[in-house]
Structures are given as C-alpha cells and as structure tokens.
Structure 1
Amino acid sequence: MLFVGGVREVRLSIVGDEEFNTSHISRKLGGGHFKIERPDGTGEEWLVGERMHSPSPEARREVGEAVSRDKIKVSVAVPLKPRKANVEAGDTGTAVGQFWSYFPLQDRTSATAFFNAPWSVNDDRTTLLRNQYNREILSTVAEIFVEVVVRLSTAEDPALHFDYLPARGKEATYFGDEVLCALVPPLAVNEAIIPDGNGKLVRPPELRPLDPGCEWKISEAAHQDG
C-alpha cells in the first residue's frame, strides 16, 4: 500500500470454520507521511519518497524488452518507529531494511528502509541480479533515502536518523546492501545531515570544533581502524 498510490484500503476475509476478517487503510498525513492503519486504529507511520527513474540505454539492453521501460517509479519508505523482528510469529519487522518489487524479496539491507522498484530479479523473483540496470536504480533510491531520512531529525533527538544509515559494508550479504553501503556515505557528505551544537542539521564542512584553537590531528591508522 505504501508503493501503490491508487490503493487506499485492503480487506482480507477467510471463509470457513474459523472465519477471519481484517483490513488495512493507508492514510495520507501530508508531506509524504503515511499511516498504515489497522481496524483498531493502531498502525505504523512511514515517510515515503518516490521518483521517476530513467534507465540508461545500456541498462535497458541488458535486461531486455520484458523488463525495460523508458521511465520507472522507484520508492523508499522509512518507518518512523522501526519494529524488531519476531521470528516465532513470522514477523520480519521493519528495523532491518528490505528490497521490494511491490512484494518483498528475500534481500535485506542494513539501511532501515524499504526500497521498492521493478528490479531485475532472478527466475524465482526472490533476489536482485548483479547488473547495471539494478546498480542505476540503487543509485537513485540511495539519493531518495538520504533526502527522506534526515526528516526523522527532531528537536528532542536531532541525530535520530543516524540509526537508520547503512553499515560500513564489510558485512554486506546481499548485492543491494553492498551497493547502498557504498553509495549513501558520499551522498550524505553533501547534505545537511549532522546536527550542530544547537541541533540544527548542517553539512559536514560547516561544522567547527568547540575550541577554535584546537588542531585536529588524526593519524591515517585511526581512519583505517574506524
């Protein structure tokens, strides 16, 4: 429902000895802020960003006419309150990021968000293929992610969005996670993403040490160990 703008309500009914009825409603709260609401009024809130992506001619030739289009819609949904997985209940949670192609794929990412696109996938439609077509989409969704995630910052917790950023990539298991871990940090450097002493988000070059006379001397070894 987060990725299909024309669907606002989904109803599920199971007929039999143990009948079951439920529904979920997508409510627009403004500015890309959505709530997926359960029948009892509870639900989860998300920040959603989307963009039309144009694959390069090379990428389109790579995947063929069955997948290729001039423009495709790609989306990123960030949970306001990530939910931990409950393995016993079969709930994958929302704290660990996922790749979707309107349905969840098996691929995961250390970035806390859902990344939806008409990906180039394997024959089982379960995982992303390592190709240029997907790399280009990943570049676009990485940009959207950086734009959306900073909106999580609040006066009470101006650095809240740091918890959503991907890991360093050394432990990446999936192709998509590997690429996102490489793309997001360089993009973030050029955005107002770090809170200053007043809690205002600024670009990294705008930060100044509290002691103007302080000279920062960080060894190359420290960079490598960090």
Structure 2
Amino acid sequence: MGVVSNKIERENLKRGDHIYSWRLAYAYSHHGIYVDEGNVIHFTGLDRIIGSSLPQHPLDNPCPICSDESRSDGVISSCIDCFLSGGDLYRYEYGVTRAFFIAKARGGTCTLASSESEIQVIHRAFYFLRKGFGVYGVMKNNCEDFALCCKTGLKVIPTVNGGGGGQSGQAATFKAAAAATFLAYISPLGYAATSLVATYGTYSVKRYINDIGVRRDVERVVLEE
C-alpha cells in the first residue's frame, strides 16, 4: 500500500482491519471492520440511497452465507462478498505522517490517528453490532465514522445545535472540495496559476484540520454493557 493505492488481496487481511470498497465509479466508498474468516461488521443506512451498501441479494432471497444482509439498516455483519458488492478490496491506513496524508489527495483512505489493538477494535465492532451506532447520517455519522470509532475509540463531540460534523475523511473531502471550488470561482482569471496553488492548499488544509488524529472536538467512547 502507498500514496497511489491501498488495494490489497483477501489473503493479506488481518482481524481488526478497517477495509473499504469504492462505489459508483469511485464517487463514494463503503467502510467496515474485518472481524474474522470472511466476515465484516459495517454500518449501513442512508448510504444505500446512493448505492454504497446495496445488498447483492433481494429481501426474499438473502445471501446463503450471511443472511443478515437482508437487514439493510444499522450495524450488520456480512460476508466479505456482500460487503464488497462486486468492488475491489482496500485497507484504510492509520498513523500516517502529515506529509503522507497531504500527498494522499483523496480523503477517506487514511488518518493521522493511531489504531488501537486488534482485541479492542474487534470488541467495539461487536459491541456496536449489539447496541447500534446511532442514526445514520451521510455527513455526520456514516460507515467511515463507524470504522474510525472502532479502530481509535474516538468520536466527534456533538454540539448543542447539532453541528460539529463527523470524523470521516470522505465528509471532510466533500467539504474541502466545496471550499476549494468556491475559492477558484472567485479568483480572477489572470491569477490562474496562483489560484490553482491556493485552491489545492485550501483543500489540503481543510482535510487536515478535520482529521480525527488532529481535531480537538473528540472524546473517547465509553461502552456501557
């Protein structure tokens, strides 16, 4: 794995890995935690509207391996084939350097935060499978937020007015891209080169300050049995 791609083969998977697969021609990715032989725990919800976690099997004919895929909302356990839904397999990277993070232009693939132990990651994943992970939100509480929380034990503190956003790299990328696009739009055409540099700089800074390994508005998740 590296700056270009995090793609891996199934035989290289390890328990507790944060994995993902791209959907809709790389427009969006679906994330989960690999827990054991061929099984993935992941968070689904509104993302199915844009094709992120559509099950491969209809409700009246569930997967013979992981029938839970017939239940399309919340935290579920699926076989890896249903999780990938025909896509390629990628592994999320933890504890990357700032230079690596910025060089990795596409968000939702790595974080500066460190992963905790395999035992802790697996324990959280199964805990959320039993207890749930709240209400799904594309920008604030999505599948990547779930996987990041399982791996780090951290979650963004919600504000009184419901703001604060999630910790996912994808959400940060969308916001950063919007800010960078606006900057490019208002910049004079005569300063195209300068505008390009400033636009990418804005995009990179926005992604960086929203990474869960950097931001301060996070707290440790307490698992209450």
TM-score, normalization: structure 1? Answer: 0.24
More strand by share: 1
TM-score, normalization: structure 2? Answer: 0.24
Higher relative contact order (CA 8 A, sep 6+): 2
More helix by share: 2
